[in-house]
């Protein structure tokens, strides 16, 4: 009972100002009410709604990031995230994830991990329970198991791996599209955090790591500036440190949307692919502004505050 009433008090202290600001119509790309959650793709709205509820209840921002992304991993949304995501060339999923907190620039990441149900949780455990930032493959799985994280057996994968190798499949398999959940949070105290999770490019070579677990590529968070996340063809993000670039562009004064667009122009200007990059970015800044940009497709992303949760769209950038 006591617990309930203190929780209710905490909730009303947290919610009232938020509702007031939402009623005041602070919903535009110019200035958002906080807390604010922005993520990639329409399925991001599922994650945002979970994350914003946590933030409104006063839970830590990293809990909000993790809880939102866990749900996308659980549902394997778009067949692109979690163990139900796109298989690699040998027919099984290898997952990538990372998490980063603004204060202290703390971060954790796992790459090419097999049979772990929630790689975002494994990434957070790397950040909180080791002196490292990134664990890969078998070591990442061993660590996740040692932390008691939910897993499935991978023994049956050995047969798949052997069959793939025995058939001389050294070349890259058929590539299929894929989506990544990147989720950015500005909490009620204006601290930033973010996370990212994916099964990566369908048909990728076993062992391939994409941009998502690489800090500065699939995700970057800077407590002084804001945060950025990426989705799309990881190779075309990680060769250019895409999200680090966006954060630096915001630091120099650009609006998050302009920073995302400028990053795509810069990458396109030096990449042989030009604008055929198949990449999309989202970003938020410390003022509670947000934006997104896409190289060559219409890109839906999810934006959520206490008062509203919606899917927005950006058209491909206008080529220079």
- Closest approach of ligand GLY to the CB of residue 234, in Å: 2
Q: β-strand 226-232 against 290-294: which pairing, if any?
A: unpaired
Shortest reach from residue 105's CB to ligand GLY, in Å: 22
Measured from the CB of residue 195, what is the shortest distance to ligand GLY in angstroms? 14
Q: Residue 15 Cβ, how far from ligand GLY at the closest point, in Å?
A: 35
Burial readout 182-192 (b: 16 or more C-beta within 10 A, e: otherwise): bbbbbbbeebb
Decide if residue 242 touches ligand GLY (CB under 6 A). no
Q: How far is the CB of 180 from ligand GLY (least distance, A)?
A: 4
Whether residue 227 contacts residue 284, with contact meaning beta carbons closer than 8 Å, is answered with: yes
Catalytic residue among 121, 180, 198, 304: 180
- Residues 64 and 183: their CA atoms lie apart, in Å, by 10
Nearest approach, Cβ of residue 178 and ligand GLY (Å): 6
Distance CA 25, CA 31 (A): 10
Upper half-sphere CA count for residue 50 (Cβ side, 13 Å): 17
Could you say which residues in the range 119-148 bind ligand GLY, by CB under 6 A?
none
Q: Is 180 a catalytic residue?
A: yes
If we measure between CA atoms, which residue out of 28, 24, 36, 26 comes closest to residue 255? 28
Which of 21, 88, 121, 180 touches ligand GLY by CB under 6 A?
180
Q: Are 183 and 63 in contact (CB under 8 A)?
A: no
Choosing from 232, 256, 288, 300, the residue that interacts with ligand GLY (CB under 6 A) is 232
Q: How many CB atoms lie within 10 A of CB 300?
A: 18
Cβ atoms < 10 Å from Cβ of 4 = 8
Q: Which is nearer to ligand GLY, 61 or 233 (CB)?
A: 233
Alpha-carbon distances, residue 22 vs 16, 132, 252, 275, 286 (angstroms):
10, 40, 29, 37, 18
**Contact track, ligand GLY, 211-230, x by CB under 6 A:** xx------------------
**Helix spans in 213-319 (H):** 235-238, 242-251, 256-270
Rg (CA), the chain: 19
- Contact between 210 and ligand GLY (CB under 6 A)? yes
Mask: binding to ligand GLY, 53-92, rule CB under 6 A, as x and -? ----------------------------------------
Query: Residue 98 or residue 259: which is nearer to ligand GLY going by CB?
Result: 98
Judged by CB under 6 A, the residue of 21, 121, 197, 231 near ligand GLY is: 231
Q: Is 44 in the site for ligand GLY (CB under 6 A)?
A: no
Of 80 and 305, nearer to ligand GLY (C-beta) is 80
Residues that bind ligand GLY (CB under 6 A): 180, 198, 200-201, 210-212, 231-234
Residues catalogued as catalytic: 180
């Amino acid at each position: 009972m006591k617990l309930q009433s203190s929780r209710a008090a905490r909730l009303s202290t947290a919610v009232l100002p938020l509702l007031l600001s939402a009623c005041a119509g602070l919903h535009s790309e110019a200035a958002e009410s906080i807390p604010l959650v922005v993520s990639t793709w329409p399925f991001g709205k599922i994650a945002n709604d979970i994350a914003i509820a946590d933030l409104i209840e006063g839970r830590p921002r990293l809990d909000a990031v993790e809880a939102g992304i866990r749900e996308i991993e659980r549902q394997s949304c778009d067949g692109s995230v979690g163990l139900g995501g796109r298989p690699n060339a040998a027919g099984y999923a290898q997952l990538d994830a990372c998490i980063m907190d603004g204060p202290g620039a703390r971060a954790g990441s796992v790459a090419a991990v097999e049979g772990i149900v929630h790689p975002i949780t494994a990434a957070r455990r790397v950040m909180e329970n080791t002196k490292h930032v990134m664990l890969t493959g078998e070591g990442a799985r061993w660590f996740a198991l040692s932390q008691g994280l939910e897993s499935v057996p991978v023994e049956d994968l050995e047969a798949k791996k052997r069959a793939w190798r025995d058939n001389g499949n050294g070349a890259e398999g058929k590539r299929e599209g894929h989506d990544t959940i990147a989720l950015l949070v500005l909490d009620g105290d204006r601290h930033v955090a973010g996370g990212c999770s994916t099964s990566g490019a369908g048909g990728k070579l076993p062992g391939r790591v994409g941009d998502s677990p690489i800090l500065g590529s699939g995700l970057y968070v800077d407590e002084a500036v804001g945060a950025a996340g990426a989705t799309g063809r990881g190779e075309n993000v990680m060769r250019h440190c895409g999200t680090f670039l966006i954060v630096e562009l915001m630091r120099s004064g650009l609006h998050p949307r302009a920073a995302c667009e400028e990053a795509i122009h810069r990458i396109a200007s030096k990449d042989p692919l030009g604008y055929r990059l198949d990449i999309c970015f989202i970003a938020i800044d410390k003022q509670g502004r947000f934006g997104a940009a896409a190289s060559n497709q219409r890109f839906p992303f999810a934006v959520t505050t206490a008062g509203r949760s919606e899917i927005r769209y950006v058209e491909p950038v206008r080529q220079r």
